[in-house]
Amino acid sequence: MNIQINQLGYTPKMKKTALLRGPLADEMQVKNAAGETVLTVPVDQGRTELWGDSLAAVDFSALSMEGTYTLHCGDASSYPFVVAESPYQDCLAALVDMLYYQRCGCDLGPETGVFAHPACHTGMARVYGTEEKVEVSGGWHDAGDYGRYIVPAAKTVADVLLAWQWNPAAFVQGITPVLDEVRWELEWMLKMQRADGAVYHKVTCASFCGMVMPHEETEALILSPVSTTATADFAAAMAMASRFYQSVDAAFAQRMKEAALQAWAFIADNDPILFRNPEGIRTGGYGDGYDGDERLWAAVELALTCGGDSYPKAAREWLAVIDQNSAPLGWADMRGYAAIEGMQLPGEAGESCRRWVRKEADRLLERINAYGITMTDYLPWGSNMDVCNHGMLLFAAYQLTHQETYRLAAEKQLHYVLGVNPVSYCYVSGFGSRPMSHPHHRPSVAQGVAQPGMLSGGPCSGLADACAKERLQGQPAGKCFVDDHASYSTNEICIYWNSPLIALMAGIMGA
Ligand code: 9MR
Ligand code: ZN
């Protein structure tokens, strides 16, 4: 397609911009479902070159009547799209349901269609290097594999809770209410904590299994050693969640707060324990060379949850060191969570976090390219996560300042993942005119159909798998994507790629 639009559409009030490429006529027509032209807009002949495309942006915000439309310019046209009050509602519910589909240790029934399966990974897990067995069933499978890892779990939980905080009304119920779904993960995380407060980094088999359904992976489960990144992330996520569940189930909230304090006591007493796969374990590493940002995030959440003097002091000490830098939101760098959450802290700590969020958002604004995202030359593995993370930060800045520029930039991140990109995909399976359809995701491959509601990792300019190397040689960064399940570096799915999209979408739906 040579006219890119958000394939899920727009609300009547939203700014609407189509991205045109190739030879352009002087005008763009908006046609309704009956094929009648309802609006004609001039096309500015100025062009921007990006990723091998010569682009022109055309504003058709004057279209505000609800309906289904297509755009036309010379020979080029767009996929059909709607203008509607709630164009993202169903997609948001599906993105949350995806977490339910990823449940481990749970009988999935007919509500999941062909993805139904008996409870998986229910055996006891052995602590690496010992004969000790621990019961750690539950949680969500991380991604296209069936591992369960604490570090990305903490990011996922934080994103979904932020989404809920930003706009609870956005969540019409899908399979489960959103807070029940997050609790499924939190209950598993609690099982991953050792008696001394430390938290095991992950529970997986020794290696990734073949493309089979979850209950067919029956190799022994192994708990990998504890790390301070996992323990600090756990402390942060538990402290944060305990505030959200206070009014729902005070006893559960108290359990999480105590678990967070125990985890904090462990990291306070220990130097960094950084994770690397031990001998014989070949599943995802989520390795990270620095745990200061995880400690900072934990300090901020504990300050918010426990109040009093001691934790705010710890948070202030950390803030004094780190707030001069940028504030990314990832699985490896949690400074953005410290910054966004820390905006609620009293006094100078809160001030400094608010400055920090604005500074980060301004840094992102400066980098926005013609396709609307802030990464141009290099797109990392899971770049769609970064796009959504950036959207979240921009949205947080909008909430703080109510400046339109931030909201519009956040919307651009959403439009990009839903269709305004150089490969014309809606990167969410089951949605849009051209959905990503062949994810690197074991249940989808086993059943021969894509599970719905999953965000693809998206372009990875490093061409980090054989399929990508073979198919994408010489492609510009934004086009380094192949909708093939063999391409795990461009087309896997993850709980923590869905989660920032959940937050971004919910935020925008309420803005
Ligand atoms: O999301 C992770 C990405 O940032 C890394 O570059 C990549 C390679 O180490 O690993 C990704 O995480 C994978 C994890 O290790 C195992 N489950 C699937 C994850 C997504 O591909
Ligand atoms: Zn499982």
What are the boundaries of each domain within the chain?
A: 1-87, 369-511
Residue nearest (by alpha carbon) to ligand 1 atom 1:
382
CA distance 355 to 42: 40
Q: Whose CA is nearest to atom 16 of ligand 1?
A: 284
Residue 171: strand, helix, or coil: coil
Ligand 1 atom with the smallest distance to the CA of 287 is: 9
CA 121 to ligand 2 centroid distance, Å: 4
Q: Are the C-beta atoms of 67 and 33 separated by less than 8 Å?
A: yes
- What's the per-residue H, E or C state across 270-291? CCCCCCCCCCCCCCCCCCCCCC
Output the residue whose Cα is nearest ligand 1's atom 15. 284
**C-alpha 284 – ligand 1 centre gap (Å):** 6
For 394-442, the DSSP string reads HHHHHHHH--HHHHHHHHHHHHHHTT-STT--BSBTT-SSSB----B-H
| Closest listed ligand to the CA of 156 | 1
Task: Pull the structure tokens for residue 388.
Answer: 């959504």
Taking the C-alpha atoms of residue 374 and residue 329, their distance in angstroms, rounded to an integer, is 14
Q: SS3 of 123, please? A: coil
Pick the atom of ligand 1 nearest to 286's CA.
Answer: 15
Residue 48's alpha-carbon distances to 22, 286, 310, in angstroms, are: 11, 37, 53
Identify the burial level of 272 via C-beta atoms within 10 angstroms of its C-beta, where 0-12 means exposed, 13-18 middle and 19 or more buried. middle
**Residue with the nearest Cα to atom 10 of ligand 1?**
284
Q: Which ligand is nearest to the CA of 496?
A: 1
Residues in contact with ligand 1 (CB, 6 Å cut-off): 142-143, 145, 147, 284, 381-382, 492, 494
Q: What is the CA(142)–ligand 2 centre distance, in A?
A: 10
Q: Separation of 386 CA from ligand 1 center, angstroms?
A: 13
Residue 285 CA: nearest ligand 1 atom is: 15
Of the listed ligands, the closest to the CA of 216 is 2
Expressed in angstroms and rounded, the spacing between residue 344 Cα and the centre of ligand 2 is 37
90 CB burial (10 A radius; 0-12, 13-18, 19+): middle
Give the HSE-up count for residue 449: Cα atoms under 13 Å, Cβ half-sphere.
6
Listed in order, strand segments (DSSP E) in 152-207 are: 202-204
In DSSP notation, 330-380 reads SSS--HHHHHHHHTTSSHHHHHHHHHHHHHHHHHHHHH--TTS-S--S---
Ligand 1: which of 207, 333, 381, 495 to mutate, most ligand atoms within 8 Å of CB? 381
Which atom of ligand 1 lies closest to the CA of 385? 1
Between CA 351 and CA 315 the distance in angstroms is 13
* Residue 50 near residue 42 (C-beta atoms within 8 A): no
- For residue 147, the ligand 1 atom closest to its alpha carbon is 17
Measured in degrees and rounded to the nearest 5, phi and psi for residue 510 equal -100, -5
Mutational test site, ligand 1, from 102, 141, 145, max ligand atoms within 8 Å of CB: 145
Residue 214 CA, ligand 2 centroid: distance in Å? 5
The CA distance from 324 to 359, in Å, is 9
Ligand nearest to the CA of 213: 2
CA-to-CA dists, residue 7 to 17, 69, 207, 389, angstroms: 12, 11, 38, 20
Question: What gap in Å lies between CA 135 and CA 418, rounded to an integer?
Answer: 40
CATH class of 1-87: mainly beta
Structure tokens at 3: 């006219």
Residue bearing the CA closest to ligand 1, atom 6? 381
Closest by CA position to 32, among listed 72, 61, 1? 72
The catalytic site residues sit at 145, 440, 483, 492
Stretches where the chain sits below pLDDT 50 are none
Tell me which residue of 207, 255, 197, 256 sits closest to 227, measured CA to CA: 197
**Rounded CA separation 481/488 (Å):** 10
Nearest protein Cα to ligand 1, atom 13: 284
3-state secondary structure of 149: strand
| Predicted confidence (pLDDT) per residue in 81-96, tens digit | 999 999 999 999 999 9
Phi and psi at residue 128, to the nearest 5°: -50, 130
- Protein residue with least CA distance to atom 14, ligand 1: 284
3-state secondary structure 471-493: HCCCCCHHHCCCCCCCCHHHHEE
Task: Give the dihedral sign, CA 327/329/332/338.
Answer: positive
Q: Taking a C-beta distance cutoff of 8 angstroms, is the pair 66, 85 a contact?
A: yes
CA separation for the pair 410, 402 (Å, rounded) = 12
Contact 408, 57 (CB under 8 A): no
Alpha helices in 201-346 (DSSP H): 228-245, 250-269, 292-306, 310-322, 335-342
- What atom of ligand 1 comes closest to residue 332's alpha carbon? 4
What's the rounded Cα separation, in Å, for the pair 319 and 311? 12
CA of 501 to the centre of ligand 2 (A): 24
